[in-house]
Amino acid sequence: MDPKKLSLRTTQWLGTTRSLRTTRWLGTTRCLRTIRWGVAAVVGATAVAMCVPAGSAPVVDGEGVSAGSGAVVVGVTSGFDGGKWGDPVADAVSKDSYGKNQAAKDPGSLYTVEKAIGARGLWGKKDKSGLNLTGQGVGIAVLDSGVALVAGLDSAGKVTYGPDLSIEANGALTQQDTFGHGTFMAGIIAGRGATNPSSDLPSAPANVQLGVAPDAKLLAVKLASTDGSVDVSQVIAALDWVTQHPVLPDGTRVRVISLSYGTDSAQTYLADPLAAAAENAWRHGIVVVTSAGNNGSDNGRLSSPAIDPHIIAVGATDSSNRLDGWTRDHTTVASYSEVGSTDRQVDLVAPGTSLVSARAPGSLIDVNNPSGLVSGDVSGQLFRGSGTSQATAVVSGSVALLLQAYPDLTPDQVKYALTYEIGVVKHSTSIAAGAGTLNLSKALDTASHLSGTDNTATTLRAAAVQSFPYSTGQGSIDAARGGSVLVDADGRDLSGEIDVQGNAWDPAAWWQAASNASSWSGGAWLGNIWTGDNWQPASGGALSSSRWSSSRWSSSRWSTADWSSSRWSSSRWSSSRWSSSRWSDSTWS
């Protein structure tokens, strides 16, 4: 059959071929390339190459071990250790008789996951304006390692680039996802592998890659460098930036922050500055969705900022490679999913094991984990990964659907809708699974009642208000690192009460500014230059070229020479203060 004539009923499913007209915060021009997504099982599209050659990513040997449903764990000593990429069992059960991956047979495909959580059912419903519930009009900030404009994420206006706050921002790697984590999460949240109208999406073929909220817009804020390393001060700065800049240049409001990051901070959430920064965004009307961590039951405590009870903490489930394995009667909480305590457990769980999403070719995760490539995927564009990060991305996209349907919902009400009587996970406990597994049909029903005008609505709205004490983050920023510190080429740790530039940390001054959404002034955070000053619209597909001057970095510790790649070389973590067994829940989880 001619692939060009492939149709479903009367609809032709086309790959993305649009020009790359996007917007970014001032920074260095990126190398971009368009590709066609197509239907993976029918048209083998050529994978996009990043501007960074595959050979330029540092290859670090790691030991593969079994985890969960056959997921392969690859250790990276200088970066993201404990990340789970690939699953030969899931690959095997997902192939047809010709050895090709079929999303309809794949327990971890977005098609299977979205059917299980009810997302595809919501796509067929309409908002008050008559638009399909596909995330239209909702912006989602992805605070991660950046987002590569690969297939499904490369359409005009899909991704807006905020400030690059990583330590790669002062060179050729600015805004590029050299790690690969952020691109994978972005694909889950809002990937869109077809140019068909939104009304067609509910009946899209299984092999068309569509994120949970395929019409939501993404704000990419890069924090992590090539090996996934990042300092807690960079994450706090990013949370502050999104809180203060919640409207994209086209007028789309950022309603959700997806943050797959956490540390082993032992402080209470009331004192922890990272938790306070996340809660501050929440109190300014942005729903913050964060990962619980990947340490299983080792700690008996969620990572920070998930320890903050105001925001949404997400754990991960495992389907055991069954197509019906995501239902609450069959699913299990993944062995790696962080288990909290009676004082603070996850709010809910969502599919997170062996999920399939977008590959970032040439990134460290891609180069170091060949087993992550989906076996039988003729396009070469798909990757398979596991973690509470993946579950966080699923929930983040789900929140966008609810907010399109009921845009007046407060963050507290969104959380209530996601957790109210959704049904407990049969093979788990509330400490591990929280309120239960994600159920969008039930969440939409609760959101509808919350938005009503009757006595039931009044009762539910009162119940949705959270009464936890507020955090002000007046504790230690060094303690907020939880033992994870950057170390430079001379072996000096970034530790103590300073930020990543070496500036003294003043918690009172920070909180005074952050709580009033005024910690940023142009490209300066707390009075020190971090990025460019303003949005720069692109024309003709080209991104504006403007980088901050290193001469504007005031600290002697971060002088022009010290900031260079020769000093920060892959921004390694101090192995003496960071054991590989703890990595999974203490950085990008």
CATH code assigned at 291: 3.40.50.200
Say if 473 falls within a structural domain.
no
Instruction: Give pLDDT, residue 333.
Output: 94
In angstroms, rounded to a whole number, what is the distance separating the alpha carbons of residues 363 and 227? 9
The least confident of 59-68, 97-106, 335-344, 408-417 is 59-68
Residue 247 burial (C-beta neighbours within 10 Å; 0-12, 13-18, 19+): exposed
Q: Higher model confidence: residue 536 or residue 294?
A: 294
Say if 524 falls within a structural domain.
no
Domain count, the chain: 1
Neighbouring C-alpha atoms within 13 Å toward the C-beta of 507: 19
Say if 561 falls within a structural domain.
no
Say if 557 falls within a structural domain.
no
224: which residues sit within 8 A by CB, 6+ positions away?
144, 145, 146, 166, 179, 181, 182, 230, 587, 588
The least confident of 80-84, 86-90, 585-589 is 585-589
> Residues, the chain, total?
589
Say if 485 falls within a structural domain.
no
pLDDT tens track for 485-532: 887 767 788 899 999 988 999 999 999 999 999 999 988 999 998 887
In Å, what is the CA distance from 409 to each residue of 213, 254, 258, 274?
17, 14, 18, 25
Question: Which residue range forms the structural domain that includes residue 372?
Answer: 3-464
Say if 36 falls within a structural domain.
yes
Q: Examine the pLDDT at 4 and tell me if it is beyond 80.
A: no
In angstroms, rounded to a whole number, what is the distance separating the alpha carbons of residues 532 and 547? 7
Whether the CB-CB separation of 221 and 185 falls below 8 Å is answered with no
In angstroms, rounded to a whole number, what is the distance separating the alpha carbons of residues 576 and 589? 21
The least confident of 37-46, 320-329, 426-435 is 37-46
DSSP class of residue 263?
B
Say if 569 falls within a structural domain.
no
Radius of gyration of the chain (CA): 22
- AA letter at 413: Q
Q: Please state the pTM of the whole predicted model.
A: 0.83
Q: Examine the pLDDT at 197 and tell me if it is beyond 90.
A: yes
SS3 541: coil
The whole-angstrom distance between residue 335's C-alpha and the CA centroid of its chain comes to 21
Say if 323 falls within a structural domain.
yes
Q: How many CB atoms lie within 10 A of CB 549?
A: 9
In angstroms, rounded to a whole number, what is the distance separating the alpha carbons of residues 117 and 186? 18
pLDDT tens track for 140-196: 999 999 999 999 999 999 999 999 999 888 778 889 999 999 999 999 999 999 899
